[in-house]
Every structure is written in C-alpha cells, then in structure tokens.
Amino acid sequence: MVFSSTGIAYLLLFLVLGFLSYRLFQYWIQNRTTTSKFFFFLALSFLLFALIRVISVLFFVDNLQVLNASIVAVSFIEGLAASIVAYLVIHIKFHQISPWIGFIIFFLLGILATALTVGVNYQPSIEEGGAVDWGFSASEVGVLYLIIRFGIILITFVPLIIVIFQQFLSSKDHVTKKKSLGLSIIFLLGIGLGFIDFVLNNFLQISVAAYRDYTTIILSLFILLVTFFTQKPSYQLE
C-alpha cells in the first residue's frame, strides 16, 4: 500500500468532524428545532465529504478510477452542503421566503457542478512525500468551472457566517454568544481549507499539495479545540 499523507490529514479531519457532528446531534436531540436539525445535517455532509476523501486517498491512492470517482462524489457533497446552508440562511434570516427555494436552487447548481466535474480530465498523482495532487488546473478545465465549484460554497457559507456572527453580536446570553462565535469560526476555517485545497492548487496553479496536508492537520486541530470549548448542547440558534 502506498503511503498517503493526504489520507492521514483527512483521517484527522474526519475524526474532528465526527466529534462536531456528535455535539450538534446532542443539540438537535435536546432542542428538536428545524435549525438544530439542519445544522446537524450540515455537519453530516462535512463528515461524508471527509469519509470519501479518507477512503479514496488512504486505501486507494494508487487507483485512478477510485480517485476520479471520489472527485465526482465530493463535488456532489459540496453542492448538497451548499443547499443545506442556503436553507439555513433563509430559514434563520428571511422568514417570509420558503427555505426550500434556496435549497433547490443550490442543489441544482450542485448537480450542474457535478455534471461538469464528470467531464473534467483529472490526472491524480501522489507526490514523493505522500501528498495527493488532484491533477488539473484552470487552464485545462476553464475558469468558469472553477468559479462555479468554489462560488457555490462562497455564496452560501459567507452569508451563513455573517448570520451566525450577527447572533453573536446581538445575543445577551453568554452561552449563546460563545456557541455562535464558535460556529462562525468553524465555518470560516472550513472555507480556508477549501481555498487552499481548491483555489491555490487549481485556480492559481500553485503546487501546494504537501502544504495543504499540513494546513489540513493544523486547521483540524483548531476546529477540534473550538468545537470542544464552544459547541455543547443547551443553547438556542434563532
């Protein structure tokens, strides 16, 4: 079996996201609100993303078919996560609009991005240090494809971070403020991971595979600490 530092990095991320999912599950069980349920679903989508990465790059890193299939699957999961986020933003902030409208729009955009991903000529490879290079660049797949892939995440997650941070600023309850700040930091770190993994490596064509693994490990540890100290049940996101 070929050693994959990328697999190790994503394994740590998977364990951390599992812990986050558990904490948000506790909150959902305790409160039984639509908001808590969809935050838990969002955490599960992250967990599924990490699981796909772990399985593909830790056990099948020398199998191009599996790696390519995982790339397509990850694209779909990104769209699903963006759909859940769109639902949450509308549900929390815009009560006069059905949140399912946002969900359906971004789910369809995610399907489009996934369909485009199927047509991309990926050539994954493993570098000497064990890091996986996913093997495509903006000049090969087109800037529009990259804008759609990463834009779906930015357009949904940035507003969610703003909404949660606004709750941190407006809430008078200390526990709620801590939880809201923690979630906004976690999602911000998640966007940072996506920026390094997707934009720098593919859009700007900067070879950062090894540095991406190190950054994934560091940011995963930060997410673990933030989750441990801020994400506990018994608070209300409105």
> Considering the entire predicted model, what is its pTM?
0.89
Q: Is pLDDT of 178 > 70?
A: yes
Query: Which has more confidence, 155 or 195?
Result: 155
Distance, CA of 69 to CA of 72 (rounded, Å) = 5
Query: Which has more confidence, 236 or 77?
Result: 77
The CATH number of domain 5-230 is 1.10.3470: no
Work out the percent of the chain whose per-residue pLDDT is above 90.
Answer: 50
Q: Is pLDDT of 236 > 50?
A: no
Reported as a pLDDT band with limits 50, 70 and 90, residue 80 is: very high
Per domain, the residue ranges of the chain are: 5-230
Q: What is the pLDDT of residues 123-135, one digit of tens each?
A: 777 777 677 877 6
Distance, CA of 96 to CA of 107 (rounded, Å) = 21
Contact between residue 49 and residue 78 where contact means Cβ atoms under 8 Å apart = yes
Name the 3-class secondary structure at 125. Answer: strand
Label residues 106-139 b or e (16+ Cβ within 10 Å = b): bbebbeebbebbeebebebebeeebbbbbbbebe
Average pLDDT of the segment spanning 159-168 = 93
Contact between residue 21 and residue 47 where contact means Cβ atoms under 8 Å apart = yes
Q: What is the pLDDT of residues 92-116, one digit of tens each?
A: 999 899 999 999 999 999 999 999 8
Q: Is pLDDT of 206 > 60?
A: no
- Of the candidate ranges 119-128, 129-138, 201-210, the one whose mean pLDDT is the lowest: 201-210
Ramachandran assignment for 73, one of left (phi > 0), alpha (psi -120 to 50 degrees), beta (any other): alpha
- Of the candidate ranges 1-5, 85-89, 119-123, the one whose mean pLDDT is the lowest: 1-5
Distance, CA of 73 to CA of 53 (rounded, Å) = 10
Query: Which has more confidence, 43 or 126?
Result: 43
**Predicted local confidence at residue 142, as pLDDT:** 62
Label residues 1-37 b or e (16+ Cβ within 10 Å = b): eeebbbbbbbbbbbebbbbbbebbbbbbeebeeebbb
